Structure 1
Amino acid sequence: MGEVDPAFVQELEHRPKQGIIEAEGLPIIDLSILSSSDATPDHSQALEGLVKQVGNACRDWGFFQVINHRVSMEKREKIFNASGKFFAQPLEEKNKIRRDEKRVLGYYDAEHTKNVRDCVKKLT
Structure 2
Amino acid sequence: MTEVDLVATALATGAAAGLTDTSLGAVHDLHTVLRDAISRRLSDGCDGVRGGYGVRVLHAYAADPDVWRTRLLQVLTAELDLDEEILGAARAVLRADRGAGHVIVDVVGCGARSG
Please state which band the TM-score falls in when normalised by the shorter chain: under 0.3
TM-score (structure 2 length as normaliser):
0.27
Structure with the larger helix share: 2
TM-score (structure 1 length as normaliser):
0.25
Structure showing greater Rg: 1
